[in-house]
């Protein structure tokens, strides 16, 4: 199974947070690290982003 690479604009759109917060979460180890695609571009594995979203939903359900 192939995994799609999501670029930053798509990641912030799907996750619903801004770029600054995205990189803050990455630096805190709370969001998947990007995959380096070239000298000046990165992307995220769609499966890792979807798993992060799932984990956030599970935290919410556990807190209720």
Query: Is residue 60 predicted with pLDDT exceeding 90?
Result: no
Residue bearing tokens 């990007």: 34
Q: Distance between CA atoms of 6 and 9, rounded to whole angstroms?
A: 8
- Residue-level pLDDT at 57: 93
Instruction: Name the residue range of residue 14's domain.
Output: 5-63
Model confidence pLDDT, tens digit, residues 40-59? 999 999 999 999 999 999 99
pTM of the model: 0.88
Residue bearing tokens 């499966």: 47
Query: Is residue 64 predicted with pLDDT exceeding 90?
Result: no
Q: How many domains does one find in the chain?
A: 1
């Amino acid at each position: 199974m192939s995994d799609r690479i999501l670029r930053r604009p798509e990641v912030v759109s799907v996750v619903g947070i801004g770029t600054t917060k995205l990189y803050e979460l990455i630096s805190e180890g709370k969001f998947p690290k990007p995959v380096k695609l070239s000298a000046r571009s990165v992307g995220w594995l769609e499966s890792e982003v979807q798993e992060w979203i799932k984990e956030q939903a599970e935290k919410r359900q556990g807190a209720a």
